[in-house]
Structure 1
Amino acid sequence: MEIDEKPERFIVDGLRLDGRKKDEIRPIKMEAGVMNRADGSCYIEWGNNKIIAAVYGPREVHPRHLQETYRAILRYRYNMASFAVDERRRPGPDRRSIEISKVSREAIEPVLMLEQYPRSSIDVFVEVLQADAGTRAAGITAASVALADAGIPMRNLVSAISVGKVDGEVVLDLNKIEDNFGDADMPVAMIVESGEVTLLQMDGIFTKNEFIEAMELAKRGCSQIYDIQRDCLISKYKKLDSD
């Protein structure tokens, strides 16, 4: 089925068009420490998304007037490569990338102990190599692992996922067709252990009951993502120990 064609139905016999149930996430592969020259890094494949996150710092702030006396500053750059989608994009930041960079930084900032590195910067670069819906959630998830891989003091990891509505039903982890033609899309990021929500955006309309159902799905989805993040970091350090 072509991506630019809206299907007659998104859910057939209880299954979505890619064979998943309503509350099922796409396959995820994640690896930490993939870039030697970064202080921390993470590569994630989430469905057909392919994203790499790299962390540099803490390091000196340039230009110096951006320094903060009692804490580090977090700089987050989300970028979608020009070849990441079917239609060729102009290289460089656009309004969407700038907005995603801002909300992603605000989603991760609450777990970082920035006060331990005054007058410093921590720079996060998230590069989308292949896009298939949910890139901001996948980017936040990978960036959180990359920050932990860099040894940045963190109170916890941040996990993120999207929830949406198709055929009048709430579904977890939208794919590209559901994202393009569905009724609603709601990216959510949270600290799983405390339940604190650090990102909540919505494009579309939920009823009150649908919103409650969507948040429950998001919590369950983020819990699964959190387990994958932990296993990814544990695997890296087990590998280092064996080497």
Structure 2
Amino acid sequence: MEIDSEQSSLRPMLCELNILTRSDGSALLTQGETAVIASVHGPVEVRLQHLSAEKAHVEIHFRPRSGLGSVSDRLLENLIRSTYESTILTALHPRTAISIQLQEMQDHGGLIACAINAVCLALVNSGIEMQYLVGAVHSVLDADGRIWLDPSDLQAKDAQARFTFVFDSVAKKTVSIYTHGRFTPEQYHRALRLGTTAVDEVFEFYRKIVAKQCEVL
């Protein structure tokens, strides 16, 4: 099945680094009309129950735009934590914690991918060492079997399945995968192939943001 240009293009991305003054690194990232602020504190003192002589403890705190956190918010925290526990060089900072705060500003589709990408940019801004950068891509499967890449919430409202793939910047292998809904193996692999191609746009965006930061410095 061919996928037209509308279905295979990412929404525009915008980013501002150092958005918060009391953090070691921060980033405001928008993807389409979805917006997230990520901030990084650390390495900092770790709570005794999380102390490790071998590595730093990575903690993620997600705050929704309004109200108290839900079960899905805790799921998002766990997904991001597992992604960055394997990405950050935690062995360089034993007996410490790296605390990452996420604030949802707007959610108009693809919140998980936007949050993961915002954290990556905030970590780059903080100077904390990573094995590689990671980029997340969101897509949905509609009732007609079409894959829509990075859709808005309106485009995705009747989605049959949702996919979020997280890739590393070196070999473009999957670091984390989040799926929801019903889909066939063929549909899954089609979404994966589309994400593998589209993530190049995310990494190119990172390069532009980092180059812009270096010019300012």
Normalising by structure 2, report the TM-score: 0.93
Who is 1:77 aligned against? 61
Who is 2:8 aligned against? 23
Alignment of 1:119-138 (within 5 A): 119-138=95-114
Counterpart of 2:178 in structure 1: which amino acid? Q
The alignment status of 1:237 with 2:197, answered yes or no, reads no
Q: Distance in 2 between matches of 1:32 and 1:236?
A: 8
SS of residue matched to 2:76 = helix
Is the CA contact 1:30–1:229 (under 8 Å) kept in the aligned structure 2? no
Normalising by structure 1, report the TM-score: 0.84
SS of residue matched to 1:230 = helix
The alignment status of 1:211 with 2:188, answered yes or no, reads yes
Who is 2:33 aligned against? 48
**How far does residue 209 in structure 1 lie from its aligned partner after superposition?**
2.2
Q: Distance in 2 between matches of 1:235 and 1:108?
A: 24
Who is 1:153 aligned against? 129
The alignment status of 1:110 with 2:94, answered yes or no, reads no
Q: Relative to structure 2, which stretch is displaced further, 140-149 or 204-213?
A: 204-213
Alignment of 1:26-41 (within 5 A): 26-41=11-26
SS of residue matched to 2:10 = coil
**How far does residue 45 in structure 1 lie from its aligned partner after superposition?**
1.2
Who is 2:179 aligned against? 202
Root-mean-square deviation over aligned CA pairs: 1.5
The alignment status of 1:65 with 2:29, answered yes or no, reads no
Q: Distance in 1 between matches of 2:62 and 2:206?
A: 20
Alignment of 1:90-101 (within 5 A): 91-101=67-77
Instruction: Name structure 2 gaps, 5 residues minimum.
Output: none
SS of residue matched to 1:179 = coil
The structure with more radius of gyration: 1
Q: How many residues align?
A: 214
Counterpart of 2:174 in structure 1: which amino acid? V
Is the CA contact 1:49–1:132 (under 8 Å) kept in the aligned structure 2? yes
Q: Relative to structure 2, which stretch is displaced further, 110-119 or 26-35?
A: 26-35
Deviations 1:64-95 (A, max 9, x none): 2321111100001122111xxxxxxxx23221
Report sequence identity in percent.
22
Instruction: Name structure 1 gaps, 5 residues minimum.
Output: 1-13, 83-90
**How far does residue 218 in structure 1 lie from its aligned partner after superposition?**
0.6
Q: Distance in 2 between matches of 1:66 and 1:158?
A: 25
Q: Distance in 1 between matches of 2:181 and 2:135?
A: 22
Is the CA contact 1:188–1:218 (under 8 Å) kept in the aligned structure 2? yes
Deviations 1:126-175 (A, max 9, x none): 11111111111100001011011111011111100112112321121121
